[in-house]
């Protein structure tokens, strides 16, 4: 089965995240609220037995201590780390059904849509290098994590985590050349960048046309 970990400081996104999760294929979804900066949260998923909401006040970068807190709660099965500004790609679930618990998997990530080339911007999952692999492209059985944890005070925590496991268990890695992950799908700054691009190319005769087309692309193609 599958355990999903989400370090959370943006609780407002969680309903959308839940909408992308097939709970029938999940053993647990552990949401770890980051209370390191005196934030407070109210549990919102008490009616869901597979969703566990906990708190961790250990300070660090980008929720890394919160991820480590959840890792200590898991003993077996696959582990998938999902950011609180992202959702699970629909292809993920079909591919997950084919996974062997004895292997570690990576896959491709959709990073956007290039209007000039009319093609997706894709980060390939076969390159384990800094800035070239994202946590959403990686799923690992707990038995291969061992004592490996996220570096709490450094960025690119996903890379360091994946790279350490890769160095130990390279022979068990399998790359699947299929788009099975999104990137920052719920991140407001990403949408603002797209709107800025729209404004630069606005149709002078009908200023609403290009904006409508572009937002449609953003909603349907990503």
DSSP 15-77: HHHHTT--GGGEEEEEEEEE-TTS-------TT-TTEEEEEE----STTHHHHHHHHTT--SS
Residues 6 or more apart in contact with residue 129 via CB below 8 angstroms: 159
Domain spans of the chain, in order of start: 2-186, 188-222
C-alpha R_g of the chain: 18
Cα separations in angstroms, 4 against 70, 82, 115, 172: 9, 7, 33, 21
| Residue 2 in tokens | 């599958």
**Beta-carbon neighbour count of residue 80 at 10 Å?**
23
Query: Which CATH fold topology does 2-186 show?
Result: Spore Coat Polysaccharide Biosynthesis Protein SpsA; Chain A (3.90.550)
Cross-strand pairs, 52: 30
Residue with tokens 């609180």: 84
C-alpha–C-alpha distance, residues 63 and 149, integer Å? 12
pTM: 0.83
| Residue 10 in tokens | 């943006």
pLDDT in tens, the chain (222 residues): 899 999 999 999 999 999 999 999 999 999 999 999 888 999 999 999 999 999 999 999 999 999 999 999 999 999 999 999 999 999 999 999 999 999 999 999 998 878 888 788 899 999 999 989 999 999 999 999 999 999 999 889 999 999 999 999 999 999 999 999 999 999 875 544 444 444 444 444 444 333 333 333 333 333
């Amino acid at each position: 089965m599958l355990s999903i970990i989400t370090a959370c400081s943006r609780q407002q996104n969680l309903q959308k995240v839940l909408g992308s999760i097939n709970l029938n294929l999940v053993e647990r979804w552990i949401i770890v609220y980051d209370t390191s900066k005196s934030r407070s949260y109210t549990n919102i998923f008490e009616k869901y037995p597979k969703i566990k909401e906990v708190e961790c006040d250990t300070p660090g970068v980008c929720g890394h201590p919160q991820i480590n807190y959840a890792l200590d709660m898991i003993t077996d099965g696959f582990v998938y780390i999902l950011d609180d500004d992202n959702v699970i790609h629909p292809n993920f679930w079909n591919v997950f059904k084919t996974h062997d618990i004895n292997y570690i998997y990576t896959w491709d990530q959709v990073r956007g849509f290039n209007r000039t080339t009319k093609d997706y911007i894709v980060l390939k999952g076969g390159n384990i290098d800094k800035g070239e692999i994202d946590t959403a492209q990686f799923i690992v059985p707990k038995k291969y994590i061992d004592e490996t944890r996220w570096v709490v005070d450094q960025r690119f925590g996903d890379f360091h985590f994946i790279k350490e496991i890769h160095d130990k268990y390279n022979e068990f890695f399998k790359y699947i050349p299929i788009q099975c992950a999104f990137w920052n799908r719920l991140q407001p700054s990403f949408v603002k960048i797209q709107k800025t691009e729209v404004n630069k190319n606005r149709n002078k005769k009908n200023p609403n046309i290009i904006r409508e087309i572009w937002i449609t692309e953003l909603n349907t193609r990503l």
